[in-house]
Structure 1
Amino acid sequence: MSAPISLLDREQYQRDGFLLRKSLFDAQEIDLLRRSAREDKQLDDHAFGRADGEGGTVRLSLWNHPGQGIYGAFARCHRMVDTAEQLLDDEPYHYHSKMIMKDARVGGAWAWHQDYGYWYANGVLTPNLVSAFIAVDPATRENGCLQVIRGSHHCGRVHHQLTGDQAGADVERVGEILKRMELIYVEMDPGDVLFFHSNLLHRSDQNKSADPRWSMICCYNAKSNDPYKDSHHPRYTPIDRLQDSAIKQIGIKRFDADTAEAAFLDPNHDASAKSLRDE
């Protein structure tokens, strides 16, 4: 279990736009998540691709509501939600989650972008959102780890335009930002979590290595930042937080029996997520 973040951690997040929490999840927890994702036919069937404009395709699955299974246990556990609450300085709610599947040798790149560059159009008035990037596999420079520009969230929202199937930040402006701010390759071990601001510029290279680089990203919005209009992502919905121990309890149960709780999507809550591939 991980202690609450410190004042210095919060100051670093505000200054740099990101905070890396090493080993937030232990080996057994992350093994349960990895095995669940790899063996989950519904997750695989739900996946769709985004061309990167460089000849590669990023494959991902995306859903709105955390659910009762192991993915929801990660998104709803105190370690994640409490950290998001401290960084947002407000009650967080689950905006959506996704599994990024950078498969060995074929996983595509992500262009430079800001998450708020996408979410602005959803009626979200301020960039007070945070994403939590969970390393399911080792993330290295060789297999396309996340790259961030330290402090770039202070630049405000940058204009985005299509690059392949992805909306990328204005290339000229990003080039000028890189002349003044530091590029960081965020190499991570399984179980590490990178929390980052919605205006932080980030990207990743194609995975041309022999090793997969899967990651799960949970996105949280602040209650006070509730969108002013409906969109394909939810408005404020309280999170039913779980004890951290629930991850192993639910994860082990996932393989003990084929229960409804093990399903990737709960049809009573997540039917809307099935259309997200078309957004």
Structure 2
Amino acid sequence: MTSFSLNTNQIKTFDEDGYLVVKGLFSKEETDKLYRTAVENSVMQKNAMDLNDQSGKKTKLSLWFTPGDDVFGYLIRSERMVNSVWQLLAQESPVCHFHTKLMQKEPKVGGAWEWHQDYGYWYKNQFIFPDQLMSVMIALTAANKENGCLQVIKGSHKMGRVNHGFAGEQVGADMEMVNHALKTMELVYCEIEPGDALFFHSNLMHRSEANLSDHPRWSLISCYNSQSNIAYAETSTSWRVPVSVVPDRALLEWDASSFGDADFLKKENDPALKTTGWESEVKTT
């Protein structure tokens, strides 16, 4: 069976708009398995961190650098994910995994994310080329206007890096530049269903509202880097290690009983989190 591949029009859309939605990249059976594991396994909850927005509402997230031999690692390392990222980054060098976040926006209390660019955060890590960094959001539950789906400013990746500072416990973009961008470019609400993938450039301006609905909004956001893109001030090592790709079928074949205590989530086991401090890493990642 041939691995999933993006077509020419999809690649062109990403280059022009700074983002691309691929419907149904993962099946309902796959996303159900991911969501069930995330909700039912206590290790995920124990290693989640609260992050406040400017109003005090909280978003929970779990963060890790090295993808393992588990249901989340198999999604991150799957042929369809890695091949799609490789096509969009348009580099000959291998794809590396920087980090992944499990975003947990609960009903009524899930906080907002302020306007920002991911490279506004990662610039401090001294990655040289923003065009060789990108993120992929996989919806585990439906994301819509009511529960605070991602909003993007279409084409804003062409602005280059905008200055960022703290907004509550988050890093936010210079609002004067954001307002100029909103006058110039289109605001898009990226409403997606479980299993849909949202690929976006590291300089795309994006935000999300608080979840004031009665339904949770959970998603995985995996960040990838071309191996040729050196990060001169990043203490983790995953960003320079080529992803060990697994077949697309691996996710469904994974045995939930093997999840164990999920060592990959424990901050004391990761030198990047151990040296920088878990809280500061979350605030700037």
Given the superposition, is the C-alpha separation of residues 176 and 220 from structure 1 closer, same or farther in structure 2, using an over 3 Å criterion?
same
Deviates more, 1:71-80 or 1:53-62: 53-62
SS in 1 for 2:221: strand
In 2: Cα distance, 1:40 partner to 1:47 partner: 12
Alignment of 1:264-279 (within 5 A): 264-266=262-264, 270-272=269-271, 273=273, 275-279=277-281
Shift of 1:234: 3.5
Which amino acid in 1 is paired with 2:38? A
Q: In angstroms, what is the RMSD of aligned CA positions? A: 1.8
Q: What is the percent sequence identity of the aligned residues?
A: 42
2:62–2:101 Cα contact (<8 Å) kept:
yes
Could you list the runs of 5+ residues in structure 1 that have no partner in the other structure? Answer: none
Deviates more, 1:85-94 or 1:24-33: 85-94
Q: How many residues in Structure 1 have an aligned counterpart in Structure 2?
A: 273
In 1: Cα distance, 2:190 partner to 2:267 partner: 37
Match of 1:185 among 186, 189, 193: 189
Alignment of 1:41-190 (within 5 A): 41-90=42-91, 91-127=94-130, 128-190=132-194
Given the superposition, is the C-alpha separation of residues 204 and 2 from structure 1 closer, same or farther in structure 2, using an over 3 Å criterion?
farther
1:65–1:270 Cα contact (<8 Å) kept:
no
Deviates more, 1:162-171 or 1:231-240: 231-240
Q: Which residue of 2 aligns with 1:214?
A: 218
1:62–1:276 Cα contact (<8 Å) kept:
no
Could you list the runs of 5+ residues in structure 2 that have no partner in the other structure? Answer: none
- Superposition TM-score, scaled by structure 1 size: 0.93
Given the superposition, is the C-alpha separation of residues 235 and 191 from structure 1 closer, same or farther in structure 2, using an over 3 Å criterion?
closer
Shift of 1:37: 0.3
Shift of 1:51: 1.3
SS in 2 for 1:225: coil
SS in 2 for 1:132: strand
SS in 2 for 1:13: helix
Given the superposition, is the C-alpha separation of residues 25 and 40 from structure 1 closer, same or farther in structure 2, using an over 3 Å criterion?
same
- Superposition TM-score, scaled by structure 2 size: 0.91
In 1: Cα distance, 2:59 partner to 2:168 partner: 11
Shift of 1:231: 2.5
